[in-house]
Amino acid sequence: MKKKAQEKKATASTPAKRKLSPPPKPTASVHAPLTSFGARLRSARDAAGMTQTALGEATGFGHRSIVRYEAGGALPSVQAAAAIARALKITLDELAGISSSVDPELSRMISRLDELSDQDRAMARRFLELLLGEGK
């Protein structure tokens, strides 16, 4: 009787082996190749009229990092990409190639709100609240 109880206990404590399935493969729209990021970066930099050196100085990363990003040799961290987007006056979504249903010009303008004084930002917020019927 003791032996059966011990066998039962041992069987209950032994975890069953499960076959794990591999993680799903990323889709191209979510994980674009490095070269796509580099091409978008170069296009945005050219549109902003900046050289690789100027963008490197504006972000504090240096020209070599920008060259590597554009060549597809590396991807920037989220913080670095955000700094690059700010320097180019575009949204991080635009730089990452994430499409949006928002008007690109409106999106660009919104991304520049931090350039306004506190008083002007408050005025812009109030205007949008009134325009959207959220005014108090």
Q: Give me the DSSP letters along 51-106.
A: -HHHHHHHHTS-HHHHHHHHHTS----HHHHHHHHHHHTS-HHHHHT---SS-HHH
Domain membership of residue 121 as a residue range = 101-136
Structural domain includes residue 116: yes
63 with 121, same domain: the answer is no
- The reply to whether 72 and 84 lie within a common domain is yes
Do 44 and 95 reside in the same domain of the chain?
A: yes
Q: Does the residue 13 lie in any domain? A: no
Q: Is 84 inside any structural domain?
A: yes
Chain segment 39-72, per-residue pLDDT in tens: 999 999 999 999 999 999 999 999 999 999 999 8
Same domain, 122 and 80: no
Specify the length of the chain in residues.
136
Average pLDDT over residues 92-110: 79
| Alpha-carbon gap, residue 119 to 133, rounded angstroms | 21
Indicate if the pLDDT at residue 33 is higher than 90.
no
Contact status, residue 90 vs residue 102, Cβ threshold 8 Å: no
Inside any domain, residue 93: yes
Q: Are residues 121 and 135 in the same domain?
A: yes
Shared domain check, 81 and 53: yes
Residue 48 lies inside a defined structural domain of this protein: yes
Give the separation between CA 19 and CA 90, rounded to whole angstroms.
46
pTM for the model stands at 0.55
The residue-averaged pLDDT of 90-106 equals 80
Q: In total, how many domains does the chain have?
A: 2
- Section 26-40 average pLDDT: 61
Question: For 4-30, what is each residue's pLDDT tens digit?
Answer: 555 555 555 555 556 666 655 544 444
Q: What is the pLDDT of residues 66-80, one digit of tens each?
A: 999 999 889 999 999
Residue 107 lies in a domain: yes
Residue 63 within any structural domain of the chain: yes
